Structure 1
């Protein structure tokens, strides 16, 4: 079983999620998403695995960058939002754990246990 963790070591929730996985004996494939170049297909697959209704649910909506880019504009399409994440990976909510065809945002960290 390969588990992936979209991780930011500077984020306390991301570190807590990594510690939780490690305590469960899981050594995830760590993806430092701030250094990662996402493709549209990759973001669409992640969105599908998260089973969300809008890409905004996987974005850091309280982030200054989100407001600066006016991503709350209701006329933006899902592809517009994915393009914003591709251009600015810091917009992606963290941490995200992926297990096969399921994914979960680790807020709170314990929520990822439901897909293990």
Structure 2
């Protein structure tokens, strides 16, 4: 099973989905902004990506500064912020066989297959 955490308004997300489909992969599409992640799902994605929470954050989003987040924020603060503001989650994320990759650039996700 392959899942893409997708934002159709994002060009990289659309490109990644198209790349998967061009390679014969029909992923389950999770529109994470309409179906928000819960804490365990977000923590699992961070573990599958093998990154720190800051690496999954869109730090240039207005919400990042509005929430008072900065380089000294704790992982827990970052996770809570992403749970409450899905626009802060970097996208797209593709999960396959319990491993995940960010689609930036889209070709990164092909390493999963």
User: TM-score range, shorter-chain basis?
Assistant: over 0.9
SS across alignment from 1:35: coil
The 5 A counterparts of 1:41-60 are 41-52=40-51, 54-60=52-58
The 5 A counterparts of 1:1-80 are 2-52=1-51, 54-74=52-72, 76-80=73-77
Q: How many residue pairs align between the two structures?
A: 113
SS across alignment from 2:59: coil
SS across alignment from 1:103: strand
Distance, in Å, in 1 between the alignment partners of 2:98 and 2:74 is 24
Distance, in Å, in 1 between the alignment partners of 2:85 and 2:41 is 15
Distance, in Å, in 2 between the alignment partners of 1:23 and 1:37 is 27
Find 1:81's aligned residue among 69, 78, 81. Answer: 78
State whether structure 2 residue 90 is matched by structure 1 residue 93: yes
State whether structure 2 residue 109 is matched by structure 1 residue 112: yes
Q: CA RMSD of the aligned region, Å?
A: 1.0
Q: Which runs of 4+ in 1 moved over 4 A?
A: none
Flag structure 1 segments of 5+ consecutive residues without an equivalent: none
Flag structure 2 segments of 5+ consecutive residues without an equivalent: none
